[in-house]
Chain A
Amino acid sequence: MTSSAKPGHKVINEGNRREGHTSGIEYNGWTITSKKTSICNSQDLDRLQKEIGIPLPEMIFGNNEVSIRNKTGFELKYRAEDALQLVDKTSESNKHIKVAYAKEWGKKRLNHENIKDVIKPYDWTYTTSYQGTSGNQFVNTDKDIDIERLKRLDPILYYDENILFEDELADNGTATLTTRLRVMPTCFFLLLRFFLRVDDVLFRINDTRIYHEFGTDYVIREYTSKEDHYNSVRAQLPKKVSEDISLLTDPNWVSTVLPTNTQTIEKQMAIVK
């Protein structure tokens, strides 16, 4: 966090590691906070398991929360539980990955002829189209996030990263849901990223971007979803490090090489009042 003393904003810094630590900022009528605590204990896990109804990710930060509130009552929150509620729990859930990537997946899938009991199907990749929890209505818009403004190296009054859940897919890859947030003198910006890597099968990134310019009366929400075959992404590793595949664990790098021509985009906004 950068905390250059600037008139008009107040830094929030409360609590401790065991009970939960909240950082944040009050600025221009907005209160933006990020609470971090340890992964869920077994009681929390039992409760969540009942509510969500699928085996939970290995690391679930069920008590973490990112909150963006305006004094007018506008509120947007990011919570693991709400994101996991959107994971497909139907018997259709594995279809997508099986159909689109049948060749790779078929090779990967083991032969279990003698075992009859299959755990109830669910989308074990934990893919979620979660865009945040809000009582405010978002409607379609053609307003754009001002990328040029975000590229400027304006002072950052508050910066934060928060992990909501993470699973190693039994070491077959990774699924993570994280937020990154920065508040500048003229705007704030949040990126919620679902990142999926299934080794030898595919990569997928679902991004939600939240953007507000102080002085305007709306918040823009942009959602994109893009994916590609594992090998197509791997083929783009820099040649000289092709034996070192650790870049494939870096969502930022993967995001730069996933094709955008097939991605879905939704642009919406909500009025702050």
Chain B
Amino acid sequence: MGLDLDRCIEQLYNKQLLSEAEIKEICEKTKELLMQESNVLHIKAPVTVVGDIHGQFYDLLEIFRIGGFCPDTNYLFLGDYVDRGLYSVETISLLTCLKLRYPGRVQLVRGNHESRAVTQTYGFYTECTRKYGSHHVWQYFTDMFDFLTLSVVIDNSIFCVHGGLSPTIHVLDQIKILDRFREIPHEGPMADLVWSDPDPDKEDFAISARGAGYTFGSHIVERFLDANKMSHILRAHQLCNAGYQVLFNDQLSTVWSAPNYCYRCGNLASILEVGVEGERYFNVFDAAPENDKNFQTNVQKPLQLDNKQAQYFF
């Protein structure tokens, strides 16, 4: 009671923060909602699939402008809402409110950045304490992250996940039985789903040379799709200059939705529109114009504020 979600959404579209008390209530309610969701959530097309956003709030607004606003367009977000960009709080606040307001039309999958450990290093923690004066808001959100689902299947044919496949998962039932209500572990199937990457030069699983995480090749993709009677894997997690990448004979797509990543990569971004016949269309877009009003129009944002003092390095 008392929580006016439409007002909250309106406020966030205008990039105004919600109060700490509102965030607390929204996160509590969202947890209750997410708790009902399976680790493998089945949905129907049409749906627009969004990859990594990383706190680039202006670009999220651009996504709604080009892809349609909620609830007119159904959205599936593949994780990595926070860290790196300047507006992680605004981004996750808006997405959480939209999920709560339109639970059947907005799906949020967990990415590897929806984690306490990762957000402490990559910006979300710092942003929360800076914008709210304490770490409570970070706590509310990261507690809520533990409830996000791990994967989505569109029309029984497209498997959607943040990172990729796991050597310990052959069929969907093995995902369904995972205890997902926890911090992302360092290893095991839950970690693999949010961390792993495809490798077009390989056939099987391989250990990355740095000894953390897996890559998976063409045979693994074929075997997984075959065993689960599906036709495509859709994932995010990897930056691509064109905004998307299609691999393994059109059996796997990467969708990347943070244009000019970190305000300096100069890459394009895309959202993937999946139609009722299973057709896939990458809607490619560039960084939103509002970004430029807040930064100099450089390709690269200086590593630190471009103030006079910082120029006297030695």
Report the separation of the CA atoms of residues A273 and B290 in the bound assembly, to the nearest whole angstrom.
48
Judge whether B313 and A117 touch: CB under 8 Å.
no
Contacts of B4 on A, CB cut-off 8 Å? none
Contacts of B122 on A, CB cut-off 8 Å? 171, 249
Judge whether B209 and A120 touch: CB under 8 Å.
yes
Stretch at the interface among A76-84, A213-221, A240-248, A261-269: A240-248
Contacts of A147 on B, CB cut-off 8 Å? 314
Judge whether B129 and A244 touch: CB under 8 Å.
yes
Known: A153-B312, A161-B303, A252-B304. A59 touches B261 (CB 8 A): yes
Known: A120-B209, A150-B314, A169-B210. A38 touches B299 (CB 8 A): yes
Judge whether B267 and A172 touch: CB under 8 Å.
no
Judge whether A110 and B311 touch: CB under 8 Å.
no
Judge whether B123 and A246 touch: CB under 8 Å.
yes
The 8 A CB mask of A168-179 against B (1 = contact, 0 = none) is 011110000010
Is residue B214 contacting chain A, with contact meaning CB distance below 8 A?
yes
Contacts of B135 on A, CB cut-off 8 Å? 243
Is residue A39 contacting chain B, with contact meaning CB distance below 8 A?
yes
Judge whether A39 and B206 touch: CB under 8 Å.
no
Is residue B75 contacting chain A, with contact meaning CB distance below 8 A?
no
Is residue B118 contacting chain A, with contact meaning CB distance below 8 A?
yes
| 8 Å CB contact of B300 from A36, A115, A182 | A36
Known: A110-B186, A110-B187. A170 touches B265 (CB 8 A): no
**Nearest chain A CB to B80's CB is how many angstroms away?**
10
Q: Is the interface of B mostly helix, strand, loop or mixed?
A: loop
Judge whether B121 and A122 touch: CB under 8 Å.
no
Judge whether A245 and B213 touch: CB under 8 Å.
no
Judge whether B261 and A245 touch: CB under 8 Å.
no
Report the separation of the CA atoms of residues A38 and B112 in the bound assembly, to the nearest whole angstrom.
25
Question: How many residues of chain A get a CB closer than 8 Å to chain B's CBs?
Answer: 59
Report the separation of the CA atoms of residues A42 and B112 in the bound assembly, to the nearest whole angstrom.
24
Is residue B156 contacting chain A, with contact meaning CB distance below 8 A?
no
Contacts of A109 on B, CB cut-off 8 Å? 211-212
Judge whether B212 and A110 touch: CB under 8 Å.
yes
Judge whether A172 and B125 touch: CB under 8 Å.
no
Is residue B204 contacting chain A, with contact meaning CB distance below 8 A?
yes
Contacts of A120 on B, CB cut-off 8 Å? 209
Contacts of B207 on A, CB cut-off 8 Å? 112, 115, 117-119
Contacts of B16 on A, CB cut-off 8 Å? none
Is residue A162 contacting chain B, with contact meaning CB distance below 8 A?
yes
Contacts of A180 on B, CB cut-off 8 Å? 313
Is residue A196 contacting chain B, with contact meaning CB distance below 8 A?
no
Judge whether B239 and A58 touch: CB under 8 Å.
yes
Judge whether B265 and A39 touch: CB under 8 Å.
yes
Is residue B245 contacting chain A, with contact meaning CB distance below 8 A?
yes
The 8 A CB mask of A154-198 against B (1 = contact, 0 = none) is 001001011100000111100000101010000001010000000
Report the separation of the CA atoms of residues A58 and B239 in the bound assembly, to the nearest whole angstrom.
7
Judge whether A170 and B208 touch: CB under 8 Å.
yes
Judge whether B213 and A163 touch: CB under 8 Å.
no
Is residue A199 contacting chain B, with contact meaning CB distance below 8 A?
yes
Judge whether A244 and B126 touch: CB under 8 Å.
yes
Q: Is the interface of A mostly helix, strand, loop or mixed?
A: loop
Report the separation of the CA atoms of residues A189 and B314 in the bound assembly, to the nearest whole angstrom.
8
Residue from the set A21, A36, A171, A248 with the largest chain B CB neighbour count within 10 Å: A171
Contacts of A171 on B, CB cut-off 8 Å? 112-113, 118, 122, 195
Contacts of B303 on A, CB cut-off 8 Å? 161, 163, 178, 251
Contacts of B195 on A, CB cut-off 8 Å? 170-171
Judge whether A117 and B311 touch: CB under 8 Å.
no
Report the separation of the CA atoms of residues A232 and B122 in the bound assembly, to the nearest whole angstrom.
20
Report the separation of the CA atoms of residues A121 and B206 in the bound assembly, to the nearest whole angstrom.
12
Contacts of B245 on A, CB cut-off 8 Å? 42
The 8 A CB mask of A5-25 against B (1 = contact, 0 = none) is 000000000000110010000
Report the separation of the CA atoms of residues A249 and B127 in the bound assembly, to the nearest whole angstrom.
14
Residue from the set B125, B186, B212, B240 with the largest chain A CB neighbour count within 10 Å: B212
Contacts of A150 on B, CB cut-off 8 Å? 312, 314
Known: A55-B209, A108-B212. A17 touches B299 (CB 8 A): yes
| 8 Å CB contact of B206 from A42, A117, A124 | A117
A–B complex contacts, Cβ < 8 Å, 28 sampled: A21-B299, A37-B299, A38-B265, A39-B267, A41-B242, A59-B262, A110-B186, A110-B212, A112-B207, A114-B167, A117-B204, A117-B206, A118-B209, A119-B208, A119-B209, A125-B210, A145-B314, A150-B312, A151-B312, A153-B312, A156-B312, A163-B303, A171-B195, A199-B121, A243-B135, A246-B123, A248-B121, A249-B122
Query: In the complex, given contacts A58-B239, A119-B206, A156-B311, what are 13 additional A-B residue pairs having Cβ atoms less than 8 angstroms apart?
Result: A36-B299, A37-B299, A38-B267, A38-B299, A59-B262, A110-B186, A118-B206, A119-B199, A161-B302, A169-B210, A244-B126, A246-B121, A249-B121
Interfacial residues, chain A to chain B (CB-CB below 8 A): 2, 17-18, 21, 36-42, 55, 58-59, 94, 108-112, 114-115, 117-122, 124-125, 145, 147, 150-151, 153, 156, 159, 161-163, 169-172, 178, 180, 182, 189, 191, 199, 209, 243-246, 248-249, 251-252
